[in-house]
Structure 1
C-alpha cells in the first residue's frame, strides 16, 4: 500500500486546530485560550479564485500580444479586465488608413480663406536676375567732352562765354591777338610766290625741250642737247612740286589760325567743335596765353554716364549690357534707365571698389555732373530657375516655408531651399515645382493655424 504525504500549510494546521477545539466542546475561537480570528474562505474556494485570476491575466496578456489576429474575440475580455486601449494602435495598418497623419497640412474652407484674405500666385520659370544696389555719381561721358586750347600764342582780346553757357558747334568762344596768324599768312604768300616761279620755270623747260626735239630732226642740234633739256624739265617739275607742298602747309596753318568772318587780320578765334555746355574757362581777358593751356572745357550733357561703385562679388557679377535704373534727387521724376557699358578692370585702392560705367540718356539735362544717385543694376546670372512671389515665403525655426494649394481647401506646408531673393520674387531651388499654386497674401494666417494645431497636439 502506497502512502502519500500531503503537504500542509499553516492555514491547514489552523483549520485542524479549530476543528479539534470544536470536538472538545470549546468554541473555535477559544481553542488555544485566545479570541478566534474571523472566519476565512475555505481552501478550495481560495484555490478556485486564484486560478480564475491567473487565467484572466494569461488571457489578457495573450490578447495584448495578439490583438491584431484575435482583436475581435479578445476585445470584450480585455475591456472587462481593464486592458483595452482607448485609441487604435498607430502602427496598425487599418488605423493609419482611417486617420492619416497630416501634420504639414492646413484645411480651410472658402469662408475661412475669405476671412484670412488669402491670395494666390504661380510658381514659374524665369531668367534669374540678381538686383545689385549701390551708390553712384554722375559724370560726363569722356567721348562727349572737349578741352579747347589756343591754336597760337597771343593776348586774349575778347571772351564771349562763361561756365554754364550753352554753345553751338562753330561758335566763337574767345579771340586772341596772335602774331602767329600773321606769320602763317606771310608764309603762305611766300610759298605761293615760290610756286609761281617754279611753275614758270617748268613751263620754259618744257618749251625748250619741244624746240630741241624739232631741231634734232633736221640736224639743227645734237641729240645731247635734247637730253640736257629733258633733265632741265625734270628739275623744274620737282621744284614745282616742292613749292606746291609749301603752299599747302602754310595754307593749312593759316586756315587753322585764321580769324572768324568779319574779324581783323591777325586775330585768332577759339571755336567750339560740338554742341554742349561750357563747364570751365581757363583764360581771362587781356592775359597772354600759349598753346599748352586749356582755355575752355565744353561737354555735351545729352548723354551722360553714371559711375556705380561695385563691391566684393558684385564686381564679377555685373557684366556689360546689364540693365540699370538710376534714381536721382529730382522732384517728380520716375528715374532714368540705362545699360552698363563696362566695369573698370582696376580697383580703387582707397575705397576697394571698381566703378561700373552706365550710359544714361539725359535729353533735358536733368542729371548734372557730380550728382549723387542710387543705382540698381539687374545683373543677369545666365541661368533660369523656379520662382514664387516674395509674399509666399514664411520664415520658421526650421527655415523658409511656403504653403502649396493642393486642393480647393487643402494647403500643404513645404520646406524650401532659396536662391536669389528679390522684393518681388524669390528663387526656389528645391521644394516647389513650376506650375504649382502658392498662397501669397494671408499665408501668415495659414502658418499661425498650423502652429496652433501643432501646439495643441502636444498638450
Structure 2
C-alpha cells in the first residue's frame, strides 16, 4: 500500500472519530462535554443556564444549555418537596410539562412522562423561533403537584449569539458544593432570611422539676416485711390519691422505744402547727396594714399547710403504732402499715419486692404528678434585673426538634429568687407550665430564653441554621441549588426558635436551616466532588 493511500485512510479515520458523539451522556453542568446531534461541529459550545426557584411548596434546581433555535436543550430539573420546614423530601413520582411561551402568545410544550431517576426529570426543549419568552414547569404527581415559574428566557438564533450574550465570569465569594443527591439523603431544608418581630430575651440554663406538693417519696416508717400477695407497684404505673401502694408488716423491732419516738414527733408536729397558725394570723394583720408584701403572707400560709399535713401524718403513724402494739389489724394481712399515694400521678421509682425485709427509713416508692411542671431557670446576676418582671420564656430540650414556651396564656410565673447563689452567682426564676401529653420529664435540662418584655424588629433566620466554626457563629447561604456561601454572622436577639442577624446575611437570602453541620462535615472531609455529577 502506497504512502499516499495510508495518509488518506488515516485522515478519514481521524475525521470519523472526531465526529463520534460522547459516550458519557449529559453531564450535570448541562453544557459541559455534551454533543447535541443537530448542532454543527463548527458552532461554539453553548453556555450553561442555571436556576433555583421556590414556589407552591416545591424547590426546583435546574441546569440546561442556552436555548437556540432548532437545537435540543435537555432540562435537568431537580424537584424537591419543600413543604416540611423540618426536612425536605425528594420527589419520587410524577410527570413534568415544560411550557415555553413566546412574546407573541404562542406556546410550545415538552413533556417528561417519568423521572430519569428519583428527584430528576429531563424534558427536552427544542425551540422553533428566536426571541424572548417565559418558561414554566408543571409537576403532576401523587406525592406533590405544583407549577414553578422559571421566569424570562431568551431563545437565540445561533449558538454564537448565545455565547456573545453570556455575561463574563466574575471572581467573587468562594462557594461550597453540596449535591442534591447528598441533600436528599440527609435531613435538609432551607429558609429565607426575613423581617420578624422578636422578643428580647436573656439566655439561661434551666431544669424541669415537679410542681411543689405534686410529688412524694414513701419510705418505710418502721423495720418490717413487705406484704406478700398484694399487687406490686411498678415504675410508670398511674396511681390515684389515697391508693394503697405498699403494705408493711412490722417486725419485732417495732418496740416501745419506737412508739415513744412517734409520740414525741406527733407532739412536736402539733406544736409547730400552733406556731404556724399564729404566724398566719400575724402575717394577715401586717399585710392588711401594708407592712409586708403578699409573698411573705403566702409563705406563712404554705408553712401552715405543711404543718397541718405533718400533724395528720404523725397522728396516723401514731395510730398505726398503737394498733400494732395491741395486735389489731388494719388490713386483710394482719397488723400492717399502709403506704398510700398522697397525690394523683405516676410512679417514678419503685423498690418493692414482696416478702423482703426492709429497714426503717428505706425509700420504697416515689410518685410524681407530671401534668404540670416547674421550669427553674438559673439567671446570672448581671441579667437578673432584666428578667425581674419576665412574663414568659421559651426553652429547648435535648431530643426535641421544636421549642416549648410558657407565658401568661399557657402558664404562669411562680417566683423570682431574692438571693444570689454564692457558688453559681445565679438567681432562680420559676415558671409553671402544662404538660398534658407527659412528653416533658422532671429532671430534664433545658436551654432557656427568658423574655425581657422588649421587642425587636429585624432580619431573622431559624436558630437551627447556626453552626459553630471555631467559636464563631456561621451559616451556609444558598447561592444555587447545589452551591453555598459560608458566612460568619453577628447575631442579636434570640426568640421562638429564630435569631436576629445583624451582619452576614441579607433579607431575602436563603440559609440552610437543616443539614448545615452535614455541609460543614462534608467540606472538612473532602467528600464533595469538584466536577459535579453526571445524569
- Give the TM-score range, shorter chain: 0.3 to 0.5
TM-score (norm 1): 0.38
- TM-score w.r.t. the length of structure 2 is 0.33
Considering fraction of residues, name the structure with more strand: 2
Q: Which has the larger radius of gyration?
A: 1
